[in-house]
Amino acid sequence: MKVRMPGRKWFLDEQYRLGTSPTFAWGLLRDRVVYRQRSGVQRIEIFDNEAFGRVLALDGLMQLSTRYEHVYHEMLVHPALLNLEKPRSALVIGGGDGGALRELLKHPLERAVIVEIDQGVIDMCREYLPGVSAGAFDDPRVEIVIEDARGYVERQSAEFDVIVFDATDAYGPSEALWTTEMYRAIQKALRRGGIGAFQAGQFTEQYGIQGRDEIRAVFKHTQIHKAFVACFPFDECAFIIASDQTRVNRFDLKKIQQRFRSRKLTSAYYDPDMHLGSTLYPRGWR
Q: CA torsion sign, 249 to 269 to 195 to 151?
A: positive
Helices assigned H by DSSP within the chain = 69-81, 99-104, 119-128, 130-133, 149-154, 180-189, 206-218, 253-262, 272-277
Asked if 279 contacts 223 with a C-beta cutoff of 8 angstroms, the reply is: yes
48 is catalytic: no
Beta bridge partners of 227: 237
| CA–CA dist 129, 5 (Å, integer) | 27
Bridge partners, 48 (sequence order): 32, 54
The residue annotated as part of the active site, out of 48, 97, 118, 166, is 166
CB 60, CB 30: distance < 8 Å: no
The CA distance from 270 to 30, in Å, is 30
CA nearest neighbour of 77 among 194, 163, 178: 163
Q: What single-letter DSSP state applies at residue 169? A: P
Catalytic annotation, residues: 166
